[in-house]
Structure 1
Amino acid sequence: MEARTADEIDELARRARDGDRDALEVLLGAIRPRALNVCRGVLPYTPDAEDACQEALINIAAKIGSWGGRGRFTTWMHVVAVNSARSTYRRMKNQAVPADPHAATGPMDRPDPRTTSVIAGTRLDLLEAMETIERDHPQFVEPLILRDVYGMSYEEIAEQVGAPLGTVKAQIHHGRRLARPLLRGGVE
C-alpha cells in the first residue's frame, strides 16, 4: 500500500465522515502504520501495541463523525490512538495477577511482568504517574502526553484540545511539576 499525503488522508477522512464506507476502509488501511507507531510509544511489547492499535482503529471508525475537520485528521487520530493505548495499559494492569496468588488478597501495587508488557521502568513510571495525576487533575494529562511523549507542537495540541495556546503551555508546565515527584529518580 502506498503512503498517502496528509491532504489525501484528510480527504479520505472527510468522505468517510460523510458516510463513504469504501473511503473509510482505505483510510483505516492508510493510517494503521501510524496508529501502530503511536501505540508502540506507550506499549513497546508488539502484541500489546497491536491490540491497542486495533482498538484505536475501531474507535476511529465508530467516532469519525466527531472529527471536526478543522485540523489535520492525523492529529485527531493520534489522540484516539494514545487514548486506546492508555486504555489497553489500564486493562492489562487491572487484569494482572500476583506472582503468588495466595500472597495478596487486595489489588497489586505493581503489574505482574508475566501478564503485562515488558515496559522499561521509566515508561511504566510515566504511565503510573499519568494515572495518578489524572485522578485529581485530568486536564493536565492529555496535553502533557502529547507534548512530552509524542513531541507534538504546542500549536497542534492547542488545536486538538480546543484550548488557547497559553492555557496549553500552562497545563503542560503544571503537569510536569506534578509528574516529577512521581517518577523514579535516575536510570538503573
Structure 2
Amino acid sequence: MATSSGSSSGMDGAPAPTPDEIDELARRAQAGDRDALEDLLAAVRPRTLNVCRGVLPHLADAEDACQEALLNVAGKIGSWGGRGRFTTWMHVVAVNSARSTYRRMKNQAVASDVLPAERPDPRTTSVIAGTRLDLLEAMETLEREHPQMVEPLLLRDVYGMAYDDIAGLLGLPTGTVKAQIHHGRKLVRPMLRGDG
C-alpha cells in the first residue's frame, strides 16, 4: 500500500496508511474483501486504542474496549455510509465500545462489591477497582435524561472534533449540534464540580 512521504510510521515501522487509503480499504471491506477488512482493522487499531484510552485510562481496560470496538467495526462496516471519513465513523464506534466496556465493568464492580474506601488515581487505576465520579458517570446520567446530547458532547469536548464534522457524521444541522453541545455542557458541569 503506497503512502505519502509525509505519513507517520505504524507500530511495525511501515508507513501508516493515509485517510484516503483507509477509506479505500473500508470500501473494499464493505464489498466483501476479507483481506481488505484485515488490513483495515490493523490500520485503525492504534487509533481505536487511543480513542478507548481517552475514555478508559487503564491500558488493560482500554485494550478490552479496543477489541470490542474492532469486532463492532468488522460486524457493522456495512453501516458506514461513506459520507465522511471512515476514521470519523470508526471513532464513534470506538467511543461507544469504550463506554459500553465502562458500564459493564462498573456493573461487575458493583455486583461483586469491589468499592474501595479511598479514591484511586483514575489515570492509573482500572474502573473495576473504582474511580471517582467522572465524566463517564456524568455521561451516563445525561444519557438517561437527554440521550441525543451525549454523542455530540463526547465528540466535541473529549475528542475535539469540529462542529461541522460532528454534524456531518450525525446527519444533523450544525446549529442543532452546537445547541445540543451547549445544553449538554450546562447539564454536565454541576456533576463534575463538587467531589471533595
State the TM-score, normalizing by the size of structure 2: 0.83
Structure 2 residue 116 is the aligned partner of structure 1 residue 116:
no
Does structure 1 residue 81 correspond to structure 2 residue 98? Answer: no
Does structure 1 residue 133 correspond to structure 2 residue 142? yes
Deviation at 1:99, TM superposition (A): 4.2
8 Å CA contact 1:39, 1:50 repeated in 2: yes
Alignment partner of 2:81 out of 68, 79, 84: 68
Which amino acid in structure 1 is aligned with residue 128 of structure 2?
Answer: T
RMSD over aligned CA atoms reads 1.8
Unaligned runs of 5+ residues in structure 2 are: 1-13, 116-124
- 2:46 paired with 1:33: yes
Note the C-alpha offset of 1:2.
2.8
The residue correspondences of 1:133-152 to structure 2 (distance < 5 A) are: 133-152=142-161
Are the structure 2 counterparts of residues 99 and 31 from structure 1 closer, same or farther at C-alpha, using a change threshold of 3 Å?
Answer: closer
Deviating runs (4+, > 3 A) in structure 1? Answer: none
> Does structure 1 retain, via aligned residues, the 8 Å contact 2:66–2:98?
yes
Preserved CA contact (<8 Å) 1:12 1:26: yes
CA positional deviation for 1:114 = 7.2
Where does 1:150-161 land on structure 2 (aligned, <5 Å)?
A: 150-161=159-170
> Are residues 179 and 17 of structure 1, via their aligned partners in 2, closer, same or farther at CA, if it must alter by over 3 Å?
same
Report if aligned partners of 1:44, 1:117 keep a CA contact under 8 Å in 2. Answer: no
Identity of aligned residues (%): 74
Separation of aligned partners in 2, 1:98 and 1:169: 40
Greater length-normalized contact order (CA 8 Å, ≥ 6 residues apart): 1
How far apart, CA to CA, are the structure 2 residues paired with 1:176 and 1:91?
A: 25
The equivalent residue for 1:94 is 107
TM-score by length of 1: 0.86
Contact 2:51 2:91 in 1 (8 A): yes
Maintained 8 Å contact 1:146/1:157: yes
Equivalence for 1:106? none
Structure 1 gaps, min length 5: 101-112
Q: CA deviation at 1:118?
A: 6.4
Task: Compute the displacement of 1:181 (Å).
Answer: 1.1
